[in-house]
Structure 1
Amino acid sequence: MKTAMRNKEKDKLSVIRLVKSSLQNEQIKLGRELTEDESITVLNREVKQRKESLHEFKQANREDLASKQESDLSVLEGYMPQQLTEEEVEAIVKETITETSASSKADMGKVMSAIMPKVKGKADGGLVNQLVMKHLSN
């Protein structure tokens, strides 16, 4: 935050302040210090909100607001853990399906509940869901 202030990066500073506020609100809500996983969850929530807003602004042809959301997203993604590639996620999906002995789409919930803690903050839930669906339908 101090670096953004020194460099007079107003957009970056405002995003950092919003995230810091969200983290503090979550800390107050829980009544204790946040763990690293909880902090990542808050960051994921912020990223997801920006992506949803971006989608809505693009549908409404509001390029001015969409570009603001894109710049906010790029700042937020700099603080997120390194994302897994699709191949890495697919390997985790295959491994988890084998571990849980899942064989049909009826086992989707069991597989998803086993996978999500492994990829929390490192992969998009939609991608994970799509890959699980693909492998369980084969």
Structure 2
Amino acid sequence: MHRTTLKIFAALAPFLLLTACVGSQSTTKVAVDRITGNWVGPHGEKFTIAADRTFTADGLDSKNLAVTKCPGKSSEGGWSFYVAEGHGTEIGEKTAKSGSWIGLSFHGAAENCQFDLAVVDGGKALCATDDRDLPCGLDVKFTREP
């Protein structure tokens, strides 16, 4: 390789690695009680996930979630774990006791808001995604509220 090409690659390598890591996390299967509670995102996003399969959310209009068409004001809906239906198909199942992917269904004015949550970091975080191939595709990671 030419010296100039090596310099360009060396300069770009950190950015290429960062881009590759954004959505490439592996998911973790957890029980319902591991995801219920209050979760916060890096830019003021908030989720409260209840065992009765409902949730409330605030601040979902942050920069990284803008593509999801979610409101910044308080919204609510229902959630379920995705379960395998067969032949590579998954559906949201409200009675599933565990899972690694959480389907969200927003109600009211937020019904056009669309993204899922992937359970990552051994169940310590939830990542927002609009692409099942990229668990952290929207680059918003929710952690338990302290």
TM-score relative to the length of structure 2: 0.20
More strand by share: 2
Structure with bigger gyration radius: 1
More helix by share: 1
